[in-house]
Amino acid sequence: MFLEQFSKDKGQLGSIEVICGSMFSGKTEELFRRLRRAQFANQAILLVKPSIDERYASEEVVSHVGQSWAAQRCQQAQEILEIWKGEQIVAIDEAQFFDPKIVAVCSELANKGARVIIAGLDMDYLGQPFGPIPQLMAIAEYVSKVHAVCVDCGNLAHFSFRTVAQKEQVLVGAVEKYKPLCRSCYQQNNP
């Protein structure tokens, strides 16, 4: 039964994987690790990033530690289907910034046989579920939650604490605007 799921006779079966966690938890590094393995296996890869994310480079996904990978930029989720040329792997970084249609787009890609690997923040700076990530986690075959280290106490962190006064939900930034905190330190910083 298990072997039949991966049978070549029945065609390539797609899947959805979600890598989620706070800022500085290694989501993009884990995405790159999976892409390197696929690249080693000579699998065709499409890496997509939202147009709003230009923190380090316009045409690349760049991790906080400086690793990079060439990427296509998309304004809307539907554009991913337009640029997909049948690559076996479709990787999407910072998926929380895409519109809600990203859920249907990922389902369609997986139904067509692609392995869809998504990385994104699961919570916003207020500790609330962020954008389409909860729905993507619900439809995914595999979910990996990664953690940062709390910069205040050293415990595992899963909150992205905003260090600037802006209140809008979407505020693209890095260490100049956010720090990872554990639940206890997050509560102490939010009286």
Catalytic residues: 94
- How far apart (Å, rounded) are the C-alpha atoms in residues 47 and 127? 28
- Local confidence band at 1 (pLDDT 50, 70, 90 cut-offs): very low
**CATH number for 74:** 3.40.50.300
| Pair of tokens at residue 37 | 């393995």
Smallest CA-to-CA distance from 186 within 149, 153, 161, 155 is with 161
- Local confidence band at 69 (pLDDT 50, 70, 90 cut-offs): low
Q: Is the pLDDT of residue 4 over 70?
A: no
- Count the Cβ atoms, other than its own, within 10 Å of residue 5: 8
Smallest CA-to-CA distance from 119 within 100, 139, 91 is with 91
- Whether residue 85 is contained in a domain is answered as yes
| Pair of tokens at residue 74 | 């998309």
Q: Is the pLDDT of residue 173 over 70?
A: no
- Count the Cβ atoms, other than its own, within 10 Å of residue 84: 17
Domain total of the chain: 1
**How far, in whole angstroms, is CA 8 from its chain's centroid?**
29
Q: Is the pLDDT of residue 171 over 80?
A: no
- Whether residue 156 is contained in a domain is answered as no
Sheet strands side by side (includes 15-21): 72-74, 45-50, 89-92, 115-121, 15-21, 142-146
pLDDT-wise least confident of 36-40, 134-138, 171-175: 171-175
Q: Is the pLDDT of residue 81 over 70?
A: yes
- What are the pLDDT digits (tens) for 98-107? 999 999 999 9
- Whether residue 158 is contained in a domain is answered as no
Q: Is the pLDDT of residue 148 over 90?
A: yes
- Whether residue 167 is contained in a domain is answered as no
- Whether residue 153 is contained in a domain is answered as no
Predicted pLDDT at 147? 96
| Pair of tokens at residue 184 | 């206890």
Q: Is the pLDDT of residue 96 over 50?
A: yes
Q: Is the pLDDT of residue 53 over 80?
A: no
Q: Is the pLDDT of residue 156 over 90?
A: yes
- Whether residue 135 is contained in a domain is answered as yes
**Residue 105 domain boundaries:** 12-146
- Whether residue 1 is contained in a domain is answered as no
